[in-house]
Amino acid sequence: MPSDSALRIVWIYPDLLSTYGDQGNVLVLEQRARRRGIPTETIHVRSSDPIPETGDIYLIGGGEDRPQILAAERLRRNSGLHRAIASGAALLAVCAGYQIMGSTFGGEEGQPVQGIGLLDISSSRGPARAVGELVAEVDSALGLPVLTGFENHMGVTHLGPGVRPLSKTVAGIGNGDGFEGCYAGHVVGTYLHGPALARNPALADLLLSWRVGQLAPLDDRHFEALRRERLDAVLQG
């Protein structure tokens, strides 16, 4: 059994939402914590199970329309995630998981489906599928380098006054309004796959720092090579 001081990472609904290797976000967080001597415990919460309230960092991934609707229904019945966030836990929600955090999103026929209202956003089906590489400059308040990743979604997302845009798109569609993702408190929503935290280890460190404070730097040469290759391919291609 891990000690009480282990960082608890909660991976929500691997049975419904985990497209494009989004589970890699869990691995990156685990690895970056352990490389700094921080023990971790990862909990995989299937959609038949309640969300534990005692996690430190929660992760939810992308998915097709039907599993997304099912995931939203199950999360609506369960207030564990709301309670965890209210007590200071961090959350990274990707694509379908991001849309679910809002008040509504578009179902497979474009019908509005109720989300869980954790973020002040609403999503609907956009005019065309957004597919391809995405590059975006992060809100300077967060002090992160440019974001890289890829997107594949029909939805567009409207931000309310209760959230701030995570970043401004340089390439790609993101929310559909010139911005990509949003954040509020310790909750980050994004359309980025890649997985997002492998492409953007500084974002992983931001989530970790919200729970454990200042972090020692790591040798990120491999991550940097991946980022450089992807950024060059988009910006010079």
Sequence-ordered alpha helix ranges (H) in the chain = 24-34, 65-76, 80-86, 96-100, 196-199, 201-212, 221-235
Q: How far is the CB of 148 from ligand GLN (least distance, A)?
A: 17
The 3-class secondary structure across 152-186, one letter per residue, is EEEEEEEECCCCEEEEEEEECCCCCCCEEEEEECC
Please report, as ranges, the residues that interact with ligand GLN according to CB under 6 A. 19, 62-65, 68, 95-96, 152-155
The nearer residue to ligand GLN, 80 or 115, going by C-beta atoms, is 115
Q: Is 182 tagged catalytic?
A: no
Task: Choose the catalytic residue: 153, 182, 186, 193.
Answer: 193
CA dist 8 and 154 (Å) reads: 32
CA dist 201 and 82 (Å) reads: 26
Task: Choose the catalytic residue: 95, 153, 182, 186.
Answer: 95
Q: How far is the CB of 37 from ligand GLN (least distance, A)?
A: 34
**What is the sign of the dihedral through the CA atoms of 74, 27, 20 and 137?**
positive
Q: How far is the CB of 35 from ligand GLN (least distance, A)?
A: 29
Q: How far is the CB of 25 from ligand GLN (least distance, A)?
A: 13
The nearer residue to ligand GLN, 33 or 94, going by C-beta atoms, is 94
83 is in an annotated binding site: no
Q: Is 95 tagged catalytic?
A: yes
CA dist 15 and 31 (Å) reads: 23
Nearby residues of 135 by Cβ (< 8 Å), 6 or more positions away: 146, 147, 148, 169, 170, 171, 172, 231, 234, 235
Residue at shortest CB range from ligand GLN: 62
The nearer residue to ligand GLN, 79 or 152, going by C-beta atoms, is 152
The nearer residue to ligand GLN, 20 or 211, going by C-beta atoms, is 20
Binding residues for substrate: 129
Binding residues: 129
Residues belonging to the active site: 95, 193
